[in-house]
Amino acid sequence: MQRRKLASHLAQGALGAAAVSVLPAAAEAAPRGENIIFTAEDPGHWAKVEALHVPVTSIAAGVLTVRTPHPMSEPHYIVSHSVVLAGGKFLDRKTFTWTDQPVSTHTLPEGYKGPVIVTSTCNLHDFWVKRIHV
């Protein structure tokens, strides 16, 4: 339940600076495999559903498209996508309802080059993170 509270707190507005500071802090504070924040490389106890939760990204003409290949139903859906740039700079967040498709678009700053952290939050399977480099 603690990780759901953490994911909820991050998803409700503190994501920009928190994502960059919480990711390393969570990794240091908890032993590997603690099942707090999930990635394709470390899906923890959600390994069987990793393919449905890791955000899929593409970039064209400075627009980042984020898609989570997850079915959407009232009891089980993707809650949001968030995008954070280098230095913890919050770029954007898209919140979904269960009737939406979990696809979002985010315009990158003109000429941006560097790391991008993309998150996808599931109401049942927690907080998923993907790091890319533009």
Output the six-digit token pair for 112. Answer: 């941006």
Which helix (H) or strand (E) segment is 126 a member of? Answer: strand 126-133
E strands, 39-88, where?
56-60, 63-67, 78-85
Is the confidence at residue 14, as pLDDT, over 50? no
Nearest Cα residue to 120 out of 67, 75, 84, 64: 67
Which tens digit of pLDDT belongs to each residue from 100-121? 999 999 999 999 999 999 999 9
pLDDT band at 29 (very low <50, low <70, confident <90, very high): low
Output the six-digit token pair for 128. Answer: 């998923």
Q: Give me the number of domains the chain comprises.
A: 1
pTM of the predicted protein model: 0.76
Mean pLDDT for the chain overall: 85
Is the confidence at residue 47, as pLDDT, over 60? yes
Q: What is the CATH number of the domain that holds 57?
A: 2.60.40.730
What's the average model confidence in pLDDT over 40-60?
A: 95
Owning domain of residue 21: 2-133
